[in-house]
Amino acid sequence: MPAPQFLAIPADSRQPPRCVDGRPDSDSQLGPQMLGGSLLPIFITAAFTNSPFTADFVTARARRLTSAGFTLGVHRGSHTHADNSDCGFADQLKLIVQKSGLYPPDNILITGNALVTLLTSLGAAAENLAGDHEESICYVNSVPLTTFDTLAANRAGWQAFNLDLWAVLEQTACLGVNPDYAAKAALALYQATEYVLVESRGQPALPVTRV
């Protein structure tokens, strides 16, 4: 069966970023997609500077992003409970980072719902994603000012993970991260997230398509 076509729509990096998650939120503003929304550029900055990933670190970098004109974005979902936000990147951050080999997992001192709640307290828009994961493909999109139309894909009966690499590079540059490092780190974390959320649960690896 051929891979489904990437459904491109316009996006501006100043819109609230979404997670790479393929589940829908009917009220979504459909901004660019990064792991955990705003969590990815902030975490990559911690890894690049070898800084502990703490509430204070997250707060300082989030404020730097907003000062530069970026809007913050995160998500929760149908399976939110207790310490879990239902954002796989936030909830499983230590496992994902351990799999990526990018950064010492013990340096991660905030995860899950506490991490998502911190960003919302700083003004992040929070999507509320519905249903279960049924992603069949992973996209890596490098075309500036575009993103994947998650709502249209769900209406057509399928889901995809999508990483807007161009948006990651724009926001990490604002935080002082070397672009080559940012790209490699984003892809390593994306691959590790797919493994933790898909393959480690006994499902076959998803194909990856670059756009």
- For residue 145, what pLDDT is reported? 97
Q: Is 81 helix (H, G, I), strand (E, B) or coil?
A: strand
- CB-count exposure of residue 195 (10 Å: 0-12, 13-18, 19+): middle
- Tens of pLDDT, residues 138-185: 999 999 999 999 999 999 999 999 999 999 999 999 999 999 999 999
Q: Would you say residue 18 has pLDDT above 90? A: yes
Token digits of residue 141: 């999109």
| Sequence ranges of the domains in the chain | 8-210
Token digits of residue 15: 């819109």
Q: What's the pTM?
A: 0.95
